[in-house]
Amino acid sequence: MSRVLASALAMLLVSSASAQGSAPLADPTRPPRVGPEGEVVVPEGPRLQSVLISPTRRVAVIDGKAVVIGGRIGSATLESITESAAVLRYADRRETLRLMPAVDKRQRRVADAARSGPASSEKGNPR
């Protein structure tokens, strides 16, 4: 019985290794500012690194500096802060900095939610 189990496990490992070799996988631990060839991609302009929102204040960390609403970062003024973005106002334009620029968060429409049924947390399953 143990030989059958060992053989099945070996076949499973070999088949999964060959399937992985067919297409390159993205490294989930790679920093987001490293290109596919390993080169460092330097972002242009200011970069939002963190936000702090409390009932009494809102702070954005931009390029390593804590900035409050109305504060200055270079030639821009910090206009607003949300959970995932900060808006800078320059003399001639506005720029929205996002915590995760590659993530496009969208709201589900009510019709889509009704079609998919109850959320998994409502079924007693953790999300």
Average pLDDT, the chain: 78
Q: Report the pLDDT value the prediction gives residue 105, as an integer from 0 to 100.
A: 65
Choice between 126 and 72, residue whose per-residue pLDDT is larger: 72
- State yes or no: pLDDT of 4 exceeds 80: no
Report field, pTM of the whole predicted structure over 0.95: no
CA distances to 20, 25, 29, 31, 101 from 35, rounded to whole Å, are 21, 14, 13, 9, 15
Token readout for 124 is 């007693």
Q: Report the pLDDT value the prediction gives residue 10, as an integer from 0 to 100.
A: 73
